[in-house]
């Protein structure tokens, strides 16, 4: 008799615990202020250069060289390489194991001499694959008229093919690659001094207000003030007490204060934004975006959003989605109906224009 009672008690206790878990709302993930903001003057430096990838297995440039080595394409590439300090005779460009490439990178303005960074490599001509190649040492500049401040070299890494049976497709996409830690800063540039000011990576008035409130709660009222949706002005505690001629001390205090501010956590405002990849058809929605009733017809596909529509149903170009459904339901229905990436982007743009969703639609 006692065992059934014990089982019922355990079952009842389990149901109570489950009900308690369901009753407690999920805690929103807080984000460091340092991940939401950047410093004044923290503008990344973009580097570019032209170089050669050698050691290819017959997959290099085809149109370069040949019978006539004075074609406009050959001359332009030779001139570009010469401008960046690389002399290559036109007849050498006929080698199928060499490819002319562009080299690009984006680095922090605070990266000092000797610091390493990743570089991106892309074929300049008609090379079919950079797989197995090595980038010859390439000067990198911030402007073609300026002296190089960094160099890049090393074996390139190409993304693996999608799988068996798609090797040719993978090779077709292998004319771009990356070199992790392939770049090295050679010349330091003067970085902008620290300022008591934070800039939001994604300007938003609500998020700026929450950041300022978190700083004021921790360091005292008046430590932070919202300047506009993209900027917050800071006041270093005790900075006014610093005597004249103690600039170095004030600078150290500012750096310590900014580092402490970075560690604070806030609940950012979730932006209502929809980003669509126009080539792949990938749809990413930020925030709780819901769809209101609407009808969109585009290239043989009709999207109906209404109260009586079965969510996610798609038949012969007709897609039914219930009003109030999330963006994922609409995207799934369009994909099930065979909509192409450009059609998905056009339909979501039409929904935004018609006022059927309160979100910014961005097509990339």
Residue 31 lies inside a defined structural domain of this protein: no
Q: With contact defined as beta carbons under 8 Å apart, do 199 and 226 qualify? A: no
pLDDT at 225 (0 to 100): 94
Q: Do both 50 and 176 map to the same domain?
A: yes
Please count the structural domains in the chain.
3
With respect to residue 6, please indicate whether it lies within any of the assigned structural domains.
no
Radius of gyration over alpha carbons of the chain, in Å?
29
Choose the final residue of a domain: 206, 237, 266: 266
Please tell me whether residues 207 and 324 are part of one structural domain. Answer: no
Residue 9 has what pLDDT?
42
**Same domain flag for 230 and 334:** no
Q: Which domain holds residue 118?
A: 45-185
Are residues 239 and 204 located together in one domain of the fold? yes
Same structural domain for residues 162 and 214?
no
Residue 22 within any structural domain of the chain: no
pTM for the model stands at 0.64
Q: What's residue 133's pLDDT?
A: 93
Give pLDDT, residue 78. Answer: 75
Answer with the one of 266, 298, 320 that is the final residue of a domain.
Answer: 266
- Determine, yes or no, domain membership for 356: yes
d(C-alpha 5, C-alpha 135), whole Å: 75
What is the β-pairing status of strands 37-39 and 197-200?
antiparallel
Is residue 11 domain-resident?
A: no
Residues 244 and 290 in one domain: no
| pLDDT score recorded for residue 354 | 81
Tokens, residue 171: 């090779």
Among 185, 220, 248, which residue terminates a domain? 185
The H-or-E segment that residue 336 falls in is helix 327-336
Cβ atoms of 136 and 52 within 8 Å: the answer is yes
* The token pair that represents 62 in the structure block: 């085809």
> Is the separation of the CB atoms in 24 and 18 below 8 Å?
no
pLDDT along the chain (364 residues), means of 10: 46 38 47 90 90 85 59 62 76 72 92 94 88 92 90 90 43 79 90 86 90 93 92 80 48 83 88 79 77 83 73 64 83 83 85 81 82
Q: Same domain, yes or no, for 236 and 311?
A: no
The reported pLDDT for the residue numbered 150 is: 95
Structural domain contains residue 155: yes
CA distance 290 to 200: 26
Q: With respect to residue 7, please indicate whether it lies within any of the assigned structural domains.
A: no
| Gap between the Cα atoms of 106 and 112, Å rounded | 14
Do 203 and 156 sit in the same domain of this protein?
Answer: no
Q: Are residues 279 and 336 in the same domain?
A: yes
DSSP, res 277: -
Residues 61 and 167 in one domain: yes
Based on the fold, state whether residues 53 and 154 are members of the same structural domain.
Answer: yes
Are residues 302 and 222 both part of a single domain?
no
Q: How far apart (Å, rounded) are the C-alpha atoms in residues 339 and 62? A: 37
pLDDT at 170: 39
> For tokens 């800071």, what's the residue?
234
Structural domain includes residue 296: yes
């Amino acid at each position: 008799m006692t065992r059934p009672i014990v089982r019922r008690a355990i079952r009842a206790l389990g149901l109570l615990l489950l009900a308690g878990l369901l009753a407690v709302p999920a805690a929103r993930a807080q984000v460091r202020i340092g991940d939401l903001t950047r410093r004044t003057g923290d503008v990344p430096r973009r580097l570019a250069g032209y170089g050669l990838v050698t050691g290819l297995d017959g997959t290099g440039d085809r149109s370069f060289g040949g019978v006539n080595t004075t074609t406009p394409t050959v001359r332009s590439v030779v001139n570009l390489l010469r401008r960046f300090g690389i002399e290559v005779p036109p007849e050498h460009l006929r080698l199928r194991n060499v490819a002319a490439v562009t080299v690009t990178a984006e680095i922090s303005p605070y990266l000092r001499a000797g610091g390493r960074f990743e570089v991106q490599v892309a074929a300049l001509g008609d090379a079919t694959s950079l797989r197995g190649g090595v980038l010859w040492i390439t000067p990198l500049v911030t402007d073609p008229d300026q002296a190089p401040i960094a160099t890049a070299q090393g074996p390139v890494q190409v993304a693996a093919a999608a799988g068996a049976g798609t090797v040719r497709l993978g090779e077709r996409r292998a004319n771009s690659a990356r070199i992790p830690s392939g770049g090295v800063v050679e010349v330091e540039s003067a970085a902008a001094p620290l300022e008591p000011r934070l800039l939001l990576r994604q300007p938003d008035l609500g998020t700026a207000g929450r950041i300022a409130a978190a700083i004021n709660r921790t360091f005292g009222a008046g430590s932070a003030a919202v300047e506009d949706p993209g900027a917050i002005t800071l006041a270093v505690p005790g900075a006014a007490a610093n005597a004249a001629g103690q600039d170095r001390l004030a600078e150290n205090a500012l750096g310590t204060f900014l580092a402490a501010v970075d560690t604070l956590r806030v609940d950012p405002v979730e932006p209502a934004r929809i980003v669509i990849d126009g080539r792949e058809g990938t749809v990413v929605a930020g925030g709780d975006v819901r769809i209101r009733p609407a009808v969109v017809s585009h290239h043989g596909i009709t999207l109906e959003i209404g109260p009586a529509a079965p969510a996610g149903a798609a038949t012969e170009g007709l897609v039914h989605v219930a009003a109030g459904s999330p963006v994922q339901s609409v995207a799934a229905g369009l994909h099930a109906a065979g909509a192409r990436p450009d059609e998905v982007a056009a339909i979501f743009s039409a929904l935004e224009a018609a006022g059927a969703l309160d979100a910014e639609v961005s097509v990339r």
